[in-house]
Structure 1
Amino acid sequence: MIDRSLARPARRRTLLLGAAVAMLASGHARPALAARPAARMHATLISSEPVRGSTLARSPARIYLVFSEEIEPSLGGIRLVGPGGRVVALKPAGDPRNVSALVGPVTTPLDAGTWRVEWRIVSEDGHPIDGDFTFVVAAARPDSTAALAPPPAVQQPRDSTALEPAVAVEPAKSAFADVPLLAAALRGIGVGFLTAFAGLLWFFGTRRDRARQPRAERLASSLAIAAAVTLVLHLFVWTLAVSPDRSLGGEQLSAMLISRVGRIEVARTSLAVLGCWALVLVRRNRLALLFAAAAIAVSSATGHSAAIHPAWTIPMRAIHLVAISVWLGGLLWLLSLDRSNAAGVGTEAQRVSSAAMLAVIAVTVSGIVQTKFFIGEWADLVRSPYGYVALLKLAGLGVLVLFGAYHRYRVMPKLAEAGVVHDFARSLRKEVLVISVVILVGGLLAYIPPPQH
């Protein structure tokens, strides 16, 4: 038996810990919420020093790269590959005068010959981008004057959409084929488990019949464990993906932790783990729901929403995720009920159906608003990979609406009849399968660059 007088201080400490994690995430997300024009998706290299294809009389003192949006300097990497395959790894840093710049000092004079600059950054939406270009060194003497002043393209307006490249720079390798698909899949699955866990727990906690529901309790615990494990794996894979040398050394972990996007990823994972702990180990359903809701809120500040019109898209994404959580959680709640009690299933089905109608409206409106901000023009829906996947998700939502209408108007009025409850359960399982696919498609959208604005 747990002494509740002793348990209360522990619960307070846990709540404070969760609040601290959420505040940490929100604090680092706050710069993204500041009103600013849209950024390009993803970051694009718009100027460089040296210029691509240029011939230098001397070895450069630095490599200076300017991108189309704010970047995470701590997660950036630059290396030079020269004659004979010689590799020079630079230690890049940000420019305090330009949040879109990455500077790599060249401390050792470069040999004469052709050099290839290979760069890798993490854009504001958390996605790794890489690219390369070449220049020629005619002599190996360092140019000591190169670092005295930034290149002309450095002084740029915040609206990077109005910029034209100052020099001809090779485009970033940000095509869909180069996206870390494992990280995308793990994030989509993890957030799906998280929303299902939170939604099921909410319906369980607000049920009218206070009798125990062991099937729902086991399902919620399984979802909580799955969400925590999957998001921990996602954090591991994502950290490898954004590391310039694909390693997990102390330097790379420190760089990840001091970046805004890295702290948000850590906060989301920590909250999911705390939610699992609260439900599975200490059996505090409300505390677990609080942690899960906080993790969902933090999730809304990642991906494209963090980089384009965040003052609108982050709240819309939060509404979108909460509505999906209610929708999916309601379906799982109905599946976990005792099917021998047709009257009880009918009562809960009415409650879930009413909540699902509101969720459908919220998912549709928030999805349309986000899509409009991301694509710019509606015609982009039929002429870009992002648009094709968005239309696929829309088709899935249409199927789900048909499922809901069928259940509400054809099945639920007949639940008292023999065998209908079991047919209802089979149909609900199919709907859960469809909504799971829709969630995975939505997770994939987070890793596909929307059309350029």
Structure 2
Amino acid sequence: MIRAFRTRPRLCTLVLATLLSVVALVGSAGPASAHAVLDSSSPQDGAKVDSEPAAVSLTFDEAVQPIPASDEVISSTGERVDTGQLRQSADGTTIVLPLRPGLPAGTYSATWRVVSADTHIVGGSVTFGIGVDPSAAPAPPPDRTRALDVTGDVAQGLLYLGIVLLIGVGAAAAWLWPWVITARRTRLTLWCGWLLMMVGTLAAFLLQGARAQDGSWPAVLRLAGAGETLGSAFGQELIARLALLLLVIPLLTSASLARLRRLGHAVTGAVAALALLVTVALTGHESIGPDVPLALISAILHLAAMAVWLGGLAVLVTVVVPFARRGGRELHSAAMKRWSYIAYSCVACLVVTGEFQASRQIDPVQALWSTGYGAVLLIKLGVVAAMLVAAVLAQRRVLAPAPGGTDDERFAGGDVLSVIRRSVRIEAALAVVVLAVTAVLVSEPPATTTYGPPVDVEAPLGADVVHVHVDDTRRGRQDVELDVIDGAGRPVPVQAITAALSTASVAALGVRLVNDPGDTSRWHSTNAVVPLPGIWTLTLDVTVDPTQAYATAARYRVW
């Protein structure tokens, strides 16, 4: 097999290109949004129903994949009351849980755990009462996957490090320092990169099923959910990546690396690298949402620029500078200048593609500093900025004109070599931090799916006012709190409040309100669900006493 790769580079290119096409076709069939959000349920969360419903339906904002034995309805005594015959709508957005007939009056909770379009597992629960008010808000399903989530982040970081060491080091060495490609350190680096990509991919596959079933390490060891993962688009993309990694093994032999200067072998290597980057892009946030083809191209360019930039630093740190210090090779100014141009080109590509990717995941701009995704992104940008500052300062010292001598003689001097050595070490250390932060970033839900800042608005009520507080304005379930106060801020007791939510496309959604025990000036919702983003109007009918009643309204934005 190795001999065939050596003698038939065009055939290798054709095989890799074909596999790349298959991978692209597999990934292009993915859905079109990110973390699934429960838009509505029937019965509604917190509602009291007078008669026993035949089923509980859960409607999400995107198609979801149910996880076997994870969606159920239980009574307040812990008894499971659904039939276990889960149904799903044709478009995949609604899950129906049929209930057993003859259920007694009481409180019931429907818990759900599904795989969203971006392969992340999301879960929750809704509570309703049959003939009675629900006694309490439901406890969310227990989360046993925390350790697996952390391990998944580590595996993602290893994958990115592997991309740098395999693809980035290979590309930088072949373009800038061809003599480096066959050095023992370089070969070891390439094999380390290959191994890290293999480990990161295998870990992602094994963890996915256990996390979907809300399991821990024992679930991983017994390969829980492996069949479901294998049948999903995410699992198939991981298998394609593993197959590609096996195919590139012959390209990492000493003889094949020595032939990288030849066009056929160079093209084979480039196609293999592109195919691997495609499989990584397909398993990220870029494979979902608007403008998927453009987003995938942007993600591939982003990964490639990152790999070449950081891979070039790795080559300098591990091979070029150490060899120059020992006198084995001269540090030519022409090569260093070419590296400078390539590095800054990569940075420019990272800036453009990064801005495009951020625009898809962060909306509005306030989400950049008010969501977990935005905060991690700001940290990443700060570390990258520190890398650029270190590089610019070093470049000014290295390229500063010196009286007498040629550029190569000046580069061969100890002072310049020390500056380069110190600079690349600092940049390499910061690069490791960038990879770690990036691993955390891709595991965070996009800011567009989590942004929903609290809001406080007021509705006039004669000489008084109703203060409206909504803790989370993300579409879905919302907790609305009302305080009736006078002009001096003192509470004003009222007899009753009825409420409804409406928008341009929805006439009215009833909102059930109850007052705080012993305080009729404070009221809160029990079943408010807002299924769509936009400007919503909360209409209130307030009965102060038998002689005074007011109709008022307040508006706020739902994201």
**TM-score, L = length of structure 2:** 0.64
Q: Which residue in 2 is equivalent to 1:227?
A: 197
After the TM superposition, which of the residue ranges 197-206 and 130-139 deviates more from structure 2? 130-139
CA contact (8 A) 1:342 1:421 kept: no
One-letter identity of the residue aligned with 1:329: G
Quote how far apart the aligned CAs of 1:52 are: 2.2
- Residue 279 of structure 2: aligned partner: 298
Q: Deviations over 1:85-110 (max 9, x none)?
A: 234683545321x2322234457876
Partner residue, 1:124:
117
Structure-2 residue corresponding to 1:163: none
**1:296 to partner: Cα distance:** 1.4
Instruction: Determine the structure 1 residue equivalent to 2:227.
Output: 254
Q: Kindly indicate whether the alpha-carbon contact (under 8 Å) linking 1:49 and 1:63 is maintained by their aligned counterparts in 2.
A: yes
One-letter amino acid of the counterpart of residue 89, structure 2:
D
Q: What is the match of residue 425 of structure 2?
A: 429
Which of 356, 362, 366 pairs up with 2:353? 366
Which residue of 163, 170, 181 maps to 1:201?
A: 170
Residue 315 of structure 2 aligns with which residue?
333
Paired residue type of 2:88: G
Offset at residue 45 of structure 1 (A): 0.4
- 1:60 offset after TM fit, Å? 4.8
For 2:236 and 2:356, how far apart are their aligned partners in 1? 27
- 2:154 aligned residue: 185
The answer to which structure has the higher helix fraction is 1
CA RMSD of aligned residues (A): 3.7
The reply to whether residue 319 of structure 1 matches residue 319 of structure 2 is no
Distance across 1 between alignment mates of 2:102 and 2:246: 49
Does the aligned pair in 1 maintain the 2:71–2:113 contact within 8 Å? yes
Question: Residue 55 of structure 2 contacts residue 98 of structure 2 at CA under 8 Å; is this kept in 1?
Answer: yes
Deviations 1:381-417 (A, max 9, x none): 2222222221111111111111221332212564221
Report SS of the residue matched to 1:131: strand
Aligned to 1:80: 73
Question: Which of 440, 444, 449 is equivalent to 1:448?
Answer: 444
* Shift in alpha-carbon separation, 1:81–1:12, aligned structure 2, 3 A: farther
1:381 pairs with 365, 368, 383, which one?
Answer: 368
- C-alpha contact (below 8 Å) 1:116/1:133 kept by paired residues: yes
Partner of 1:25: 23
Q: Match of 1:154?
A: none
Q: What's the secondary structure of 1:126's corresponding residue? A: coil
Q: In the alignment, is residue 408 of structure 1 matched against residue 402 of structure 2?
A: no
Bigger mean CA deviation after superposition, 186-195 or 105-114 = 105-114
Which amino acid is 2:56 matched to? I
Q: Distance in 2 between matches of 1:59 and 1:423?
A: 77
Counterpart-to-counterpart distance in 2, 1:304 and 1:272: 22
Q: Paired residues, what number?
A: 414
Q: Structure 1: how far apart are the matches of 2:435 and 2:343?
A: 16
Q: How far apart, CA to CA, are the structure 1 residues paired with 2:200 and 2:380?
A: 22
Q: State the TM-score, normalized to the length of structure 1.
A: 0.78
Structure having the higher strand fraction is 2
Report if the CA contact (8 A) 2:159-2:197 is conserved: yes
Select 1:268's aligned residue among 241, 245, 254. 241
Check whether the contact 1:44–1:171 (CA below 8 A) recurs between aligned residues: no
Aligned-pair identity (%): 22
**3-state SS of paired residue (1:180):** helix
Which structure: larger Rg?
2
Distance 2:8 2:54 in 1: 58
One-letter amino acid matched to 1:234: A
CA shift for structure 1 position 53: 3.1
- Asked if the contact 2:111/2:140 (under 8 Å) is kept, the reply is no
3-state SS in 2 of match to 1:46 = strand
Aligned match for 1:308, one of 284, 289, 292: 289
Which runs of 5 or more structure 1 residues have no equivalent in the other structure?
Answer: 140-168
Structure 2 alignment gaps of length 5 or more: 401-409, 452-558
Amino acid aligned to 1:185: V
